[in-house]
Amino acid sequence: MATRPFHFFRAGGFDQVRFDSGADLLAIDQLDQKLWVALACPTKGLAFDSRTLELIDSDKDGRIRAPELIGAVKWVGGLLKNPDDLLKGASELQLAAINDTTDEGKRIIAAAKTVLGGMGKSSAGSISVADTGEATKAFDSLPFNGDGVLPPESAKDDATKQLIVDVIACHGSVKDRSGKEGVNEEKVNAFFKDVVDHVAWLKKAEGNAALMVLKTDTAGAFDALKAVRGKLDDFFARCRLAAFDARALQALNREEKEYLAVAAKDLTITSEEVAGFPLARIEANRTLPLTEGVNPAWSAAITTFTAKTLKPLIGDKTVLTEAEWLTVRGKFDAYEAWNKEKAGAAVEKLGVPRLQALAADGARKSIDALFEEDKAQEGTAATLASVEKLVRLNRDLFRLANNFVSFKDFYERKEKAIFQVGTLYLDQRACELCIRVEDAAKHATMAPLSRAYLAYVDCARPSTGEKMTIAAAFTNGDSDNLMVGRNGIFYDRDGKDWDATISKLVDNPISIRQAFWSPYKKVLRFVEEQISKRAQAADAESNDKLTASASAVGTAADTGKVKPPEKKFDVGVVAALGVAVGGITAAFGALLQGFFGLGWLMPLGVVGLVLLISGPSMLIAWLKLRQRNIGPLLDANGWAVNANAKLNIPFGASLTRTAALPSGSRLDTVDPFAEERRPWGFYAFLVGVLAVVGAFWWFGKLNPYIPVLIQRTVPVVAAPVAPPPAAAEPAKAPDAPAAK
C-alpha cells in the first residue's frame, strides 16, 4: 500500500511527524505506528477537554489508543469539506463547512440548525462548543431524551409514577443523562417477573389447610416457633440424656462456677452468658414449664410462642411435653418447605393486594408506552451527540495529534503539552514540567528511570477543598534547598493557585554546574558535622569534668583528703603527635615540591587538581543527564510512550526558569541591616601569598635575599663518584731471541 510522504522534524533526539495540512492528518493511518511518539494516553489528569477525550474513547475504558484516534480522524474527515479546517482549532464550526453530500452530514446540519433555532440563533451560520453544551444539557433534562431511562417525573399520571417508584424501591435505580434517578427496561422486566413469580407462589397456599394451619396467622405462629425451636430441641435432648445417665445431670445443668462467673458481672436479662444456659432446669424426662422456672433471657420468646402458636393449636398450657412439642413442630413442616420455595422476595414488601393488582394483565402498559416514547428520541439524541462530537473534534483533534502522534507542542515550547498541568513556583524557580499523579507511591516506582530530579508535591485549595498531587521536574539550578516539607505555590492551566508542599524527592543530577561543586560542598558539610560533633563532645567532657571537680571538692571537705592531680601530659601521646606533624609536613612539602617542579605548567597543575576532584562527579552527572527522558514519567501515569523522548541539558534548562532581575532594573547593593562582613577575600589572598613565599623559602629560592640566620639549608645530595679507571698494565718487552 502506498504511504503518504510525511514531513518529519528532529526533536528530543528522535524524528517526529509534522502535520502541515489536513490531508496529512487524514492520512494518519498510513503512518507507521513505530514512528508514533505515543500509542495510548489516559483520559484523566491532562490539561485537555475531558469531554472530547470521552467522545474519542469509544470503548469507555479510560484510555485512548491509536485505533481510536485513527477512527476519530477518519470520522471527522468524512464530515468536513476541507480537512485543513482542523488545523485552525476554531471553537466554532461553520455550517457551510459540513459535508452535505452524505446522509449523516445532512442530519448533522439539520440538527445544528434545530439547536440554534431553539436558542434564538436561527440566522447564525456557525455553531460553537458552548452552543452544543447548552443544547445537550437542555435535551438531557427533557422527560424523554432517548437514553432508555425513565425518572418518576416522566410519568403522565399518578399510577404510572407510583409504579416507577415501586420498581426503584424493589430493584434500585439507574441515572439518566440529566443525572436523575430512574428505571430502565431491564429493571422493569425483572420487577414484573418477581411480581408474577411471587403471586404464583402465594396461590399455592390458598385453600391449603395442611399448609396454612392457622390461616392468616400461620406466618406469625411459625416465626414465634422458629425463634425458640433450637432452644426447645436442646431442652428435651438434655432431659433424655439425664434419663439415660444420672451422672450427666450436673454437667447438663452447667457447673456452679459458671454461675459464679456470671454473677460477678453486671447481669442483664439478655446477656449472652444467661442466654447460653438451658431453657429450664434439666431433669430426667421432665416437661417444659411455660410460665415459671424459664431461663429469664428466653421468657419473652416463650410467652410469644405460647400465645401465637401453642394456644391456637393445643389450647392453654402451663407445661409442654416432648410429644406435644413434636406434634406442634410437625404441623409447620409443610409451611416451612413452602416458605423455602419463596419466589420474588424482592417485591414482597409491597403487600399481597398491590402485587395481585400488578400481576393483572395490562398493568405495565402505561410504562411500556413511556419507553416507546423515549425510544423515539434515540435518533435525535444520536444526531445531537454527533453535532457535539463534530464541533469538539474540529477544535481539539489537531492539538491532540500534536501531543500524541508527535510531541510537537512539548518540544517547540510555543504551547504547553497536554500533560503539563501547570507551573510550580518554589525555591526561586518556576518548574513547567509538572505532571498530575493519581497514585504517587505507584508513580514513584517507575519515574526514577527518567533520570530527572523529581519532587512529588501535594497541592490543595482550602477554599474549595480540592486536592491533587503533582510530580515536578527540577531541571535547572541545584538541590541544596529542596527538602520534604518546603512550601510553594502551584498555578494550574486555568490560572488557579494551589498551596504546594513537597512530600517526596527523587534524587538525580540537575546540572553539570551542580556536579562540579558537589564534592566541595560534601567536604564542607563533613567538616561542619565533624566540628559540631567535636564541639558537642568537648562541651560534654567539660561538663563532666566540672561535675567531677565539684564532687571531688565536696568529698575532700568531708574527708579532709585531697585527691592528687592527674598527670597532664602523656609522653607517648606527645611523641605520636610529633610523628604525625612530621609526616604531614613531609607530605605537604612533597606536594609543594612536585607542584613547583612543574614550572610554567603550574596553572595546568591547578586545572588537573580541580578535575581530579570534580571530574568523577561531573562525568556521572553528564552520563545521567544524557539519559534523562520524559517517557517513564508518562508511562507511570498510564501513557504508552513509544520513543526515547530525551530531555537534553539545554532543553531541560528551559523547563525550569531561575530567578533573574528584569532587564533595565536598578539594584542598590547597600544593605543597611547587613551583618558586618570580614574581608575574607583579602585573608585568602594573604594566605596564598604566604604559602608561595613559604614554598620559595622551603626550596631555598630566597637565600640570596634574606639574612643568613633565617636562610633555609637545602640538603645537597652528592652526585655519585665514578670509580677511577683501572691502571694500564706496562707493555711487555718483546721476548729476547733465543741464544744460538
Please tell me whether residue 657 adopts helix, strand or coil conformation: strand
Q: Show the beta-strand stretches assigned E in 480-546.
A: 487-492, 497-506
Rounded CA gap, 598 and 606, in Å? 11
pLDDT of residue 736: 47
pLDDT of residue 366: 92
Contact 396, 89 (CB under 8 A): yes
Band (509; pLDDT cuts 50, 70, 90): confident
pLDDT of residue 510: 83
Is this structure's pTM higher than 0.75? no
* Range of lowest pLDDT (270-274, 400-404, 521-525): 270-274
pLDDT of residue 29: 94
Answer yes or no: is pLDDT of 716 > 80.
Answer: no
pLDDT of residue 583: 60
pLDDT of residue 547: 80
Answer yes or no: is pLDDT of 625 > 80.
Answer: no
More confident residue, 325 or 552: 325
Non-local (6+) Cβ contacts of 53 within 8 A are 43, 46, 64
Percent of the chain whose pLDDT exceeds 70 = 82
Angle, CA 726 vertex, CA 725 and CA 728 arms, to 5°: 120
Rounded CA gap, 58 and 72, in Å? 9
Answer yes or no: is pLDDT of 223 > 90.
Answer: yes
pLDDT of residue 544: 80
Rounded CA gap, 164 and 422, in Å? 47
Answer yes or no: is pLDDT of 595 > 70.
Answer: no
Band (739; pLDDT cuts 50, 70, 90): very low
Band (591; pLDDT cuts 50, 70, 90): low
Band (1; pLDDT cuts 50, 70, 90): very low
Rounded CA gap, 621 and 684, in Å? 30
165-193 pLDDT per residue, tens:
999 999 999 999 888 999 999 999 999 99
Band (589; pLDDT cuts 50, 70, 90): low
Rounded CA gap, 232 and 225, in Å? 10
Crossing angle for the helix pair 365-375 and 185-203, nearest 10 degrees? 170
Rounded CA gap, 541 and 548, in Å? 10
The Cβ of residue 106 has, within 10 Å, a number of other Cβ atoms equal to 13
Cell of 77: 474527515
- Domain boundary assignment for the chain: 40-142+378-398, 215-331, 419-508+628-659
Rounded CA gap, 343 and 349, in Å? 13
Contact 79, 391 (CB under 8 A): no
Rounded CA gap, 690 and 301, in Å? 107
Reported as type and span, the H/E element at residue 597 is none
pLDDT mean over 509-535: 74
Answer yes or no: is pLDDT of 95 > 80.
Answer: yes
pLDDT mean over 401-417: 94
pLDDT of residue 416: 94
130-154 pLDDT per residue, tens:
999 888 888 888 889 899 999 999 9
Residue 425 carries which DSSP code? E
Cell of 369: 408506552
pLDDT of residue 738: 47
pLDDT of residue 740: 38
651-706 pLDDT per residue, tens:
888 999 998 888 888 888 777 777 676 676 677 777 777 877 777 777 777 777 77
Reported as type and span, the H/E element at residue 735 is none
Cell of 711: 636562610
pLDDT mean over 444-469: 92
Band (457; pLDDT cuts 50, 70, 90): very high
pLDDT of residue 264: 53
pLDDT of residue 720: 56
pLDDT mean over 62-76: 96
Alpha carbon 436 to chain centroid, angstroms: 9
Highest mean pLDDT among 239-253, 271-285, 422-436, 635-649: 422-436
pLDDT of residue 585: 60
Contact 395, 53 (CB under 8 A): no
Rounded CA gap, 429 and 656, in Å? 7
Answer yes or no: is pLDDT of 285 > 80.
Answer: yes
* Range of lowest pLDDT (48-52, 517-521, 539-543): 517-521
pLDDT mean over 82-107: 93
339-382 pLDDT per residue, tens:
899 899 999 999 989 999 999 888 899 999 999 999 998 888 88
202-217 pLDDT per residue, tens:
898 888 888 888 988 9
pLDDT mean over 275-299: 89
pLDDT of residue 229: 94
How high is the mean pLDDT of the chain? 84
pLDDT of residue 165: 95
* Range of lowest pLDDT (182-196, 266-280, 384-398, 599-613): 599-613
pLDDT of residue 479: 84
pLDDT of residue 42: 95
Written as one letter, the residue type at 739 is: A
Residue with cell 430493584: 171
Rounded CA gap, 25 and 69, in Å? 11
